[in-house]
A and B are shown apart, each in its own frame.
Chain A
Amino acid sequence: MRATATGKFLLVFRGPKRWAAAALILAAALAAGAATPKPPQPMPPMTPPALAPQRIAMGAFYDGAHVRIDGVAPADAGIVVAIEGSDQGQIFERKGRVGPIWLAVDKIHVKNAPAVFLRYASAPIEALLAGDEIWRYSLDETAIAGHCQMYCRCKCSAMNRTMQSGVNDAVPDSLYAAVLISDFLQIKRHEGSYAVHPSAVQTVSTNGATAYSLDLDWPRSFAPGNYRVTVYACRGHRVVAQSSAVLLVEEIGFPAYMANLAETRPWAYGVVAMLTALLAGFLTDLLTTSLRRRRKPSASGRAQQADSTGQNPPGPLHDAGLAH
């Protein structure tokens, strides 16, 4: 519509005037374009981080793993590496004080918060990035707290007494939510799932680029799943490039078979578990009984010999009737 109107406007003029009008319109359009804010520049591409190994296999004798992450970033860049576990929703009981007693006062359902959130950097993250950049890329716990959602099933908490007991997935008020988030972050830090390691990433400037490397011991307590490894190149308190890769942690062999069986055929698994335990108990009993019987002839032989010589009267084992 606008193009058609401009065309009709130009038809009013003839010869060189038409060209002058067209040039005027073009100049006005260019000036208008210059006045509007520029869209954000696309970040320069950065090669994805190299993970060694790319897949952690949790076999029967798994005891954690050593992981090396390295790659190349733009020149003079500080590096932040973030490792996030998938969010599957987590349920917690919150303890509170009722008189002198500490009791579970609420059940909290946490969503949109990663199960694991590890950050490694070449310097303290606050020194590498401005506050708004840290928030934008969710690189600290405040940002995680801002994005996560909490629902509670109130029982007797004094702070949200307006809610009725037995409520499912009620949204807590802002005061109570702040307490819950603080408690959630505290337990995550306590169990080692949320941690920050400044100065853990090594960087070397070479040929107009920054080579980085990170060595870490993968905790054996982390559950199987996909972990996203994201590398941020930071310069002038801004993120200038980023790239990511996925670290796969999965069970293999016998543990994988058992986990699969428990998930796909739970009742059969339950019966097998019960019968195996039953069998183990009876077999142990059988084993200890047969061992005792094997020892019996020699013991009774010694006893007879001792009786015949009048030495070594029968001991407490005989008294208790267990020597046979």
Chain B
Amino acid sequence: MPAQSQTSIQMALRDPDVALMLRVRDDDAQAFEELVRRYQDRLLTVMYHLVGNRDEADDLAQEVFLRVYRHRKEYHPQAKFSTWLFTIAHHLAQNVYRRRQRKPEAQLDLTDSGMLAQQPQERWRAAMSPAPDAQLRHEELSQVVQEAIAQLNDRQRLAVVLNKFEDMSYQEIADIMQISVKAVKSLLSRARAQLRQLLAPYVQMEMRSGPLPRALSHNATDAPRPPAVSKPQPQGAERHE
């Protein structure tokens, strides 16, 4: 048996999405539909945080799926299917960044409206005010965090979003971004240090007032939020009260 097809079988056994994609490669339309259903929310979330605009994220996610289908015959499973999918997504997002550099007026719209136009300090005071109930406080923090993420550079944002939402390892992120694991480590370290600086007032506020009700709906489409991906917490990382 050729080595390539042996790898395909091993990958398909390990990752059910690889098996699905292999069916797509064999022109199974139903498998493609299933693949879209499985990944649409995840892809849309990542695209939304990368480009900061819901409509654009929607179009890009659709384009990613179309490219998956168009290039199905070239698919050879060597890693998880999601790595291939998000590599395509990364390339498309890069096109958007390049277009924005050429036309600087097109910016992330996270800070364009309402409370998002405020400076972080003003927002911090608003969030600390006694009036807002939990829902308001939650929405406020959601906007604050979105703005903080938008302040990261494109590469840092991608690494953070893949690490946070897709729970990807440094190796997987390196594969997608086509950089070394060491570079990912450095990228994430700087991104998290920057986020720590930007969100410090809110982190302190949260630590003082106790954890916020994260189960509140605060997503882009008002649908219930799935539980956050929990990473294994190594010893020493727990909070010291």
A complexed with B: no
- Residues of chain A touching chain B, judged by Cβ–Cβ distance below 8 Å, are none
